[in-house]
Amino acid sequence: MKFSWRVALLWALPILVIGFFLWQGAFSSSAMTGGSNAAATRMSYGRFLDYLNAGRVTSVDLYEGGRTAIVEAVDLDLDNRIQRLRVDLPANDPQLIAKLRESNINLDTHPPRNDGAIWGLLGNLVFPVLLIAGLFFLFRRSSNAPGGPGQAMNFGKSRARFQMEAKTGVLFDDVAGVDEAKEELQEVVTFLKKPERFTAVGARIPKGVLLVGQPGTGKTLLAKAIAGEAGVPFFSISGSEFVEMFVGVGASRVRDLFKKAKENAPCIIFIDEIDAVGRQRGAGIGGGNDEREQTLNQLLTEMDGFEGNTGIIIIAATNRPDVLDSALLRPGRFDRQITVDAPDIKGRLSILEVHARNKKLAPEVSLDAIARRTPGFTGADLANLLNEAAILTARRRKEAITMPEIDDAVDRVVAGMEGTPLVDSKSKRLIGYHEVGHAIVGTLLKDHDPVQKVTLIPRGQARGLTWFVPSEDQALISRAQIRARITGALGGRAAEEVIFGDAEVTTGAGNDLQQVTGMARQMVTRFGMSDLGPLSLESQSGEVFLGRDLMTRSEYSEEIAARIDAQVHTIVEQCYKDACQMVRDNRVAVDRLVDLLIEKETIDGEEFRQILSEYTQVPEKERYASMS
């Protein structure tokens, strides 16, 4: 543990002060009585008078201006020995002195010493001085800490991280899979480097660029790349850092941020997660003049207010553009909205090449096969995938990443950590029939994605898994494909009912039924793929935004709602009957595949199709490059 002089001083201050006062009191008392009080016994004033009248007092020494006396007297009980006694005398008693003189008693007066007064004055000064010094030290320490009480006067200052020369360490070459977004943002870099190319023809660069996309697609990375390419001052701040519990602080920070930006123009201001401060105004029930709305109003004014912000380009990122205020999205503020989508297979391959630069891969590892295996993965997912593969390689004490590590990393990222294999034969066989039901129905349906593998090894919450991998990235999905996915998802429940009977159906299909119901409802209400006709009966937004959607009336009547439920039930019921029929027609193949699955615990998709083709005709599908 590192020794700190500051902490030691804080602990020592109170001890020193208490010790000083104790020493001061002892010194003062000793000074007042000349050091004699330690050997003197106290005696009351009345007994002193009795001793005086009896002639037993031999000498009296007066201290403290006559308030205290040290008396030497003869004690009859101690064989006439001389005893030293201390007596507190009453003030203003001139008869006592006269009586002492009449009795011829040795009388001596000791003037008070000035040392006690000096030390008393010093003692009275030391404590306030030490107290003030300690408070000053604590105040300085807290003021240096970020967000400490000493920062009270800096609440209104911007907390943006500022880099005069944007050494972000990221360039456009380091960002892959978002070529369209890079092309549009290249104009911003060109304007910052050569603005005369645009101004010569009367063009004006957009004041604001809004990056929209799901988490992990590389929005923040793109902003860093713009700053790194342009080489201009770069302000970076999160939307949540504007808002505080004190009203007006956020607006003050916005003003301070743009003031600093104007002093360093041309420059870039990057606001990450702008939805934290840019949500729609008036969304609170009962209205709202809250801190967040004041901050948003100030941001709108600064972006396109009375004063121009020449040379300042604002880049913001969000994954919730639906909740942003419309005034924030209008031209003149955020002129452009650039969508950063999940990469396609070509983009995923480029991203894997970027993240594989510092990874040691075995020669047999195919990045193209990994890209085909990972549809829907974002850049962050792919980076995590290769990192998990590298961790597994180190754990297994291998020198390079091989395809088994890649395959296990994909499974871990998608489904979770690998669990302990099942031992119970009854549960293992039941789960085997469930997974083989999914696989056999999906394989026999022409419009279903091909099976990649079937496994009984638990991962996450799943006791078994059946992997389907599309042959290509699908931007549009047909009605036949949706029905095939519904039927394939019901294959597990169908196998349980056909093989074990209705009474032995388990809860293993709970997640499957949720997906099936959602797909069937979307067919009816969003895609117009039912007997209700080509109608869109529900909005695409799945979340309620308070103040906007909470009080919105239903988009259809109760009669239409009943018909929607009936159509959903019809679609699911028909697909379930088809799945049950496929399992019955291929019962022999199902039993053989389950026995093989229990023995091997994992069956590759190619082997699965080969065995199934011995019993029935398997439709041809476009297949992806094998990863095994």
- By annotation, the residues acting in catalysis are 435
Q: How many CB atoms lie within 10 A of CB 118?
A: 11
Specify the 3-state DSSP secondary structure of 238. strand
List the 234-238 sheet strands across, edge first: 161-163, 234-238, 267-272, 312-318, 208-212, 336-339
Q: Which two tokens stand for residue 390?
A: 């590298």
Identity at 538, one-letter amino acid code: E
- Best CA proximity match to 608, nearest among 439, 480, 469: 439
Say how far apart CA 615 and CA 593 lie, in whole Å: 11
314 neighbors 271 (Cβ within 8 angstroms): yes
Q: Which residues contact 626 (CB under 8 A, 6 or more apart)?
A: 369, 606
Say how far apart CA 561 and CA 265 lie, in whole Å: 57
**Helices of type H across 209-340:** 219-230, 249-263, 291-303, 326-329
Beta strand ranges found along 344-499 (DSSP E):
451-455, 465-468
Say how far apart CA 138 and CA 609 lie, in whole Å: 74
Say how far apart CA 556 and CA 560 lie, in whole Å: 6
**Helices of type H across 33-170:** 45-53, 94-102, 115-144
Say how far apart CA 407 and CA 415 lie, in whole Å: 12
Say how far apart CA 218 and CA 627 lie, in whole Å: 27
DSSP 488-538: HHTHHHHHHHHHH-GGG--GGGHHHHHHHHHHHHHHHHTS--STT-S---S
**Helices of type H across 164-314:** 179-193, 196-199, 219-230, 249-263, 291-303
Q: Which residues contact 44 (CB under 8 A, 6 or more apart)?
A: 87
71 neighbors 26 (Cβ within 8 angstroms): no
With the CA atoms of 112, 117, 118 and 119 taken in that order, what torsion angle do they form, in degrees rounded to the nearest 10? 110
The DSSP output letter for 337 is: E
Angle at CA of residue 138, ends 134 and 142, nearest 5°: 175
